[in-house]
Amino acid sequence: MNNLPITDKFVSLYGDTEYRVYTSPGRINIIGEHTDYNGGFVLPGAVDKAMVAAIRFNGTDKINAYALDLNEQASFGLNEEDAPTQHWAKYIFGVIRELQKRGAVLNEGFDTVFAGDVPLGAGMSSSAALESTYAFAMNDMLALGFNKMELAKIGQATEHNYVGVKCGIMDQFASIHGKAGHLMRLDCKSGEFEYVSFDPAKYGYKVCLVDSCVKHELVGSPYNKRRESCERAVKAIQKLHPEVEFMRDAKLEWLEEVIGEITQEDYIRALYARQEVDRLLEACDAMEKGDYETAGRKMYGTHIGMSVLYEVSCEELDFVNEVAKECGVAGSRVMGGGFGGCTINIVKEDKYDNFVKTVQERYKEKFGLSCKIYPVVISDGARRLQ
Ligand code: GLA
């Protein structure tokens, strides 16, 4: 077995070498943002940055968890009233509780150490990676028999019920289902998906993230508010078109019909969500033909929608997006939930080095902060390592 920092720590904390090691990655998303909870499509891929955990059942009724990156320890029981106070421990606790709600029997607790290199708050789903690691591990170690989509839903329910973020399914889905060299085109309404081969190099492109290294979000609430706006718009449309379940189902004209029934704010949120559903489909068509320039233009369209209508961008990300445009980047937009984090950029190879250099210099000049560049490597999803 290979020694990892987490396994060394595991041995020094718990004096035991009979652990198993599991990992689950963060994700990127090419296009289709805030569409998952609107019943639309998403186009994510798992990345080469992941959470990794060593785990061993311990014959007690306690979970002893150690977050190596924070050097923090938490011990908690398996029942609802045993919830830990540390924010990070709630993800592990929530996953266990959600497994139990679905009939899993845990006769004992476990010892665990985890760490990861998914940047926190960068919109790359570090929390989904953590949830997926433990959901996948428990399913494997206890032979619970949940399928991958059920494991993703367990992670999502953890966010809803133990973290307070009413997220969609994209992040946990991608972390669990990821496949090297492939994106996943998921229909979030039906749950059907296909793996789409993703090889930008074949067409002369590179993909990178620019991490603004800022996070403006205040405890999930602005995210939940966006979702509530879309739900109110759906309710109004349903009065005239009862078949509409999600914004994805509504024709744009139907949204116009209820313009007097909903607030201006709810209208612009729902308008973005509905437009983004079509934008994804158009970008997918273009990419299938190797037409990254057209797909890239759609990404710029998403950025404008997320900035002006959905209002989940920020000054730093708008600036990075502007610089990308000036450098001739084919497609660029804020990625993930927003309010900070990364932009995702599809760049023609001959423009790549100049873009990376320029965006770093200009960002530093403007905000006195360094941004980080992550080249995107599409990798496998949740799995056992040792
Ligand atoms: C966050 C959520 C996802 C999704 C994205 C926006 O990452 O967890 O479910 O809604 O934001 O696309």
The ligand 1 atom at the shortest distance from the C-alpha of residue 337 is: 11
Question: Tokens standing for 314?
Answer: 């920020």
62-67 vs 110-116, strand pairing mode = parallel
The pLDDT tens digits of the residues spanning 240-280 come to 999 999 999 999 999 999 999 999 999 999 999 999 999 99
Tell me: pLDDT of 1 over 60: no
Residue 83: its pLDDT value, please? 96
Using 50, 70 and 90 to split pLDDT, how confident is the model at 62?
very high
Q: Taking the model in full, what pTM does it have?
A: 0.97
- Residue 221's pLDDT band (cuts 50, 70, 90): confident
The reply to whether ligand 1 has any atom less than 6 angstroms from the CB of 32 is: no
Specify the 3-state DSSP secondary structure of 374.
Answer: strand
Residue entry with tokens 């599809």:
346
If you average pLDDT over every residue of the chain, what do you get? 97
Query: pLDDT digit string (tens) for 306-339?
Result: 999 999 999 999 999 999 999 999 999 999 999 9
pLDDT over threshold 70, residue 219? no
Quickly state the pLDDT bin for 17 (edges 50, 70, 90).
Answer: confident
* Atom 2 of ligand 1: nearest residue by CA position: 167
Six token digits for residue 251:
């024709």
Domains in the chain: boundaries: 4-198+379-384
- Tokens representing 234? 């759906």
Does residue 220 have a pLDDT over 70?
no
Q: Indicate the pLDDT class of residue 216, thresholds 50, 70 and 90.
A: confident
Out of 164-173, 219-228, 235-244, 337-346, pick the least confident.
219-228
Number of neighbouring beta carbons within 10 Å of residue 211: 22
* Residue 33 alpha carbon, nearest atom of ligand 1: 12
Across 200-204, 209-213, 217-221, least confident range: 217-221
Architecture of domain 4-198+379-384: 2-Layer Sandwich (3.30)
Provide the angle, in degrees to the nearest 10, between the axes of the packed helices 170-177 and 126-141: 50
Task: Give per-residue pLDDT as tens, 75-87.
Answer: 999 999 999 999 9
Distance 190 CA to ligand 1 centre (A): 17
Say whether 214 sits in a helix, a strand or coil.
strand
* φ, ψ dihedrals at 347, nearest 5°: -125, 130
Q: Which of 81, 86, 79 is CA-nearest to residue 101? A: 79
The residues annotated with a catalytic role in the active site are 171
